[in-house]
């Protein structure tokens, strides 16, 4: 049987819809929201909500029932379809894409380790009448990639948990807590002496007393998206808002919550890679368009020694993009097949983050002063691109994960 690489019709249909949104809504306003950081793109949000609430992009599908039926009936192209949609929306504008309403990282964490009842209760809000957002808060001023350094505490008080601490760099934190009936999954420790075994994820709903958005981070790129700092001061949440077991047992239940929620990233890292590659594709297409206007075409069939320097550079940009896209599709396909994609998720994240950084930087170089100016969008795409090499695990951390999986080392053995 021949191998078929054509995009399935079911996927192409939704991609065409996303392309319409990207071309007609996102692209025309991309420069505006870049210049007006943190102004919420309501036109895009209101257009996307009816679509997302009926066909959630991430995680919230599991809220439609509580007995595992969603997982059993899941389409075999759920994640492959998702990365195609994300790629197209990021081709439109990565900053506005990150404002897409829905469960996002918060829903993905709940879907990964929440009980059936928790999935029903928390994720149903992402099919409501009004836009709602989910987010995840893990990073702290002293704890970035080293998650074991988290200091936010969760202390049990009868039928409640009391959370205290500060979270930073929470993507969509303002949208989740201040602009909707949303939620944030907050990582806290129930036992500071237990390291990662004491770390647990807690669902903190919008409107919870003691939870405050204290700052919106000014950023290099993705400026339409809010990146929030969140302060938790004696925030009381119900006992059953903890995801996973509250027990601290190093070899079983204690790390089940941590390891289970970490599988969130196996699902979301291909999505980040897809977003990066939407920016990369936009950049390559734009550069080729400008070169064509100057009478420069890429001669793909010409002998190597006859090619100009700019032709070789564009071909390399395309090769980097295609290699990363194939890795990303494989990681998403493995998720759809129910296969462990931990290695492939990190590989595609590393490759896409590196590729989009190189591609956008090279585009600025090829266009020279025009590329550096704001007369063209390539300088914006270069700024938008870099975050994809940083969030959802930095390139360095994901390289560590890849090395551990290939060489068979644990995190204690290879740091």
- Tell me the catalytic residues: 392
C-alpha to C-alpha distances, 107 to 29, 155, 327, 373, nearest whole angstrom? 28, 24, 25, 39
In 247-333, at which residue ranges do the beta strands (DSSP E only) sit?
none
- The Cβ of residue 16 has, within 10 Å, a number of other Cβ atoms equal to 10
Alpha-carbon distances, residue 257 vs 70, 137, 200, 220, 249 (angstroms): 21, 15, 6, 34, 11
3-state secondary structure of 157: strand
215 by DSSP, 3-state: which? Answer: strand
Q: How many CA atoms lie within 13 A of 1 on its CB side?
A: 3
Provide the 8-state DSSP code for 192: G
352: which 2 tokens? 């896409």
Spatial separation of the C-alpha atoms in residues 14 and 24, rounded to whole Å: 15
- How far is 272 from 98, CA to CA, in rounded Å? 10
- Listed in sequence order, the residues at least 6 apart from 187 whose beta carbon sits closer than 8 Å to its beta carbon are 136, 137, 138, 147, 150, 152, 199, 200, 201, 202
């Amino acid at each position: 049987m021949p191998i078929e690489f054509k995009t399935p019709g079911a996927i192409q249909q939704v991609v065409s819809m996303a392309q319409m949104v990207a071309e007609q809504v996102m692209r025309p306003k991309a420069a505006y929201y870049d210049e007006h950081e943190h102004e919420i793109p309501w036109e895009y949000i209101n257009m996307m909500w009816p679509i997302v609430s009926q066909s959630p992009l991430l995680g919230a599908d599991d809220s439609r029932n509580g007995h595992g039926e969603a997982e059993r009936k899941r389409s075999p192209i759920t994640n492959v379809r998702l990365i195609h949609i994300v790629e197209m929306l990021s081709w439109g504008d990565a900053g506005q894409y990150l404002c897409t309403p829905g469960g996002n990282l918060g829903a993905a964490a709940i879907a990964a380790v929440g009980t059936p009842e928790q999935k029903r209760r928390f994720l149903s809000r992402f099919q409501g009448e009004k836009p709602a957002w989910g987010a995840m808060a893990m990073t702290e001023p002293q704890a970035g990639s080293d998650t074991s350094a988290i200091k936010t505490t969760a202390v049990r008080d009868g039928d409640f948990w009391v959370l205290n601490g500060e979270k930073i760099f929470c993507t969509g934190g303002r949208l989740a807590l201040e602009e909707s009936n949303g939620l944030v999954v907050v990582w806290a420790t129930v036992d500071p002496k237990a390291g990662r075994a004491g770390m647990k994820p807690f669902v903190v709903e919008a409107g919870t007393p003691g939870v405050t958005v204290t700052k919106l981070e000014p950023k290099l790129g993705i400026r339409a998206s809010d990146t929030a700092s969140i302060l938790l001061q004696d925030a009381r949440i119900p006992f059953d808002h903890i995801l996973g077991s509250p027990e601290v047992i190093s070899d079983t239940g204690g790390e089940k919550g941590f390891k289970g929620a970490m599988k969130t990233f196996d699902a979301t890292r291909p999505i980040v890679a897809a977003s990066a590659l939407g920016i990369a594709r936009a950049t390559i297409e734009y550069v080729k368009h400008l070169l064509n206007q100057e009478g420069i075409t890429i001669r793909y069939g010409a002998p190597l020694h006859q090619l100009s320097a700019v032709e070789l550079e564009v071909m390399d940009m395309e090769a980097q993009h295609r290699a990363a896209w194939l890795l990303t599709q494989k990681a998403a396909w493995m998720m759809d097949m129910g296969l462990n994609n931990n290695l492939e998720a990190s590989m595609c994240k590393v490759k896409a983050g590196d590729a989009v950084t190189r591609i956008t930087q090279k585009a600025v170089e090829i266009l020279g002063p025009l590329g550096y100016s704001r007369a063209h969008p390539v300088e914006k795409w270069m700024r938008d691109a870099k975050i994809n090499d940083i969030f959802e695990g930095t390139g360095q951390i994901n390289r560590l994960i890849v090395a551990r999986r290939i060489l068979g080392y644990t995190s204690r053995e290879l740091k």
